[in-house]
Chain A
């Protein structure tokens, strides 16, 4: 047993040496910091928890009883599938080089990542940790999109979509913003994914909802959620997980991480209160769905700003998030007439874009090194607008192309009978009793 493990270790070491690329990426370690590493391991677990079970519960609680398991299946499958694809191909294309449009294949199948390697983007933690931290981001972004097409997308088509969308849409945008691509070069600020994660998922969700078409009975049948208590639990897990999402984006255990967490929590709180108040005022009752929607809106909107602003800016950004996302889910959606089942665009798309623009307003140079409009750097807002426009354009066009390509081979929607009977029993052969 011992002999085998030594032989195995020797083989791994030999392979690592043999495969280590000669490029500048292969940096020597020595500076791996235990505190940073410990925090980032924790943050990675928190972000993974946001998808399973956080998002799975959040989404499943909002659909009808016949589609609960199918909705959870989308989060589960996105987690498993995107993790494999991220390790194999996504990571190297996003973070394996700093060309303007895309990375390289230097890290294909994690080649060259040894015990001592670090990424130039996170120099105090093992590169394997940086890789899996961003894997959790790729996972949740893909899983978020599924909410827009809940209740009607064929599971096999969703699997193809998740795989292709990750590589064709998510990976390039992640590279542009975080991997040294052209938006990073332009100075666009996105701390934890206002563009890469939320705007991207929201726009993709909107496009997918339009391409698939509205649910059968939309506007006439009762689509009341099966069990909002599940969605409340899911929101709690998302909220807590977001500490790792935004706090972890500091990539170190430091004050910036702490500032990001405080701003994040305050934004979630004011987001929830704002949506609740607006609903109480306009509808007469403060709904639980409204409170959790406001919390998630605040969280999504503070995401790009969290490591660049002061904690109390989170209060303002959460307030704006609650109001803008409430408007987009209750007015804009009805005005345009699209059926984004779980309001991925209304909450994440609109929130992500709003937050990305607001970083340009509120950024404080003492926190993140870049000044915003309030500190006299008004042009930062234009840079942010550039980032929003680029993300929106690529997400819309490429998502459309991916869906149309899949539709050539597999119908994107289930047939009428399956939709009426429910996706749980027709797609998965199971049902809640």
Chain B
């Protein structure tokens, strides 16, 4: 089991969700976050005062999938979230030790 965490541009969320739904992914968790990478920040101007805004709004999307699906999921997110511009984001894949579905008590593969 793998946890796929993707940091993407907010306006790409719908595309990514559609792509994952189309390939059978049945759940995900989405958080509005702020951060920066190579894109760095931007400046905002208020009546002549310029402020560097280092942290830009991003979406963090988390999906737990079985190990054999993970490559397809990563590829789908990568394709759907890509604009080719700086700031498209990153995808992280990490192993999951244990999963429990709270309602039924099912565990691991049965709980995904």
Contact = CB atoms under 8 A, between A and B. Distances in A.
Genuine A/B complex: yes
Interface of A: 222-225, 283, 285, 287, 289-290, 293, 329-331, 333-334, 343, 346
Contacts of A225: 46
Interface of B: 44-49, 51-53
A330 B45 CA distance: 10
Contacts of B53: 222, 224
A24 to B, nearest CB: 49
B47 A223 contact: no
Contacts of B44: 224
B47 A283 contact: no
B45 A283 contact: yes
A293 B47 CA distance: 8
Contact of A287 (B45, B51, B52): B45
Main secondary structure of the interface of A (DSSP, over half): helix
Contacts of A331: 48
A223 B48 contact: no
Given A224-B46, A289-B46, A333-B48, 15 more contacts: A222-B51, A222-B52, A222-B53, A223-B49, A223-B51, A224-B44, A224-B53, A283-B45, A289-B47, A290-B47, A329-B48, A331-B48, A334-B48, A343-B47, A346-B47
A15 to B, nearest CB: 52
A335 to B, nearest CB: 11
A89 to B, nearest CB: 37
A223 to B, nearest CB: 7
A329 B47 contact: yes
A285 B52 CA distance: 16
Contacts of A287: 45-46
The 9 A-B residue pairs with the shortest CB-CB distance, nearest first, are A330-B48, A222-B51, A329-B47, A224-B51, A283-B45, A289-B46, A224-B44, A329-B48, A343-B47
B40 to A, nearest CB: 15
Contacts of A346: 47
Contacts of B48: 329-331, 333-334
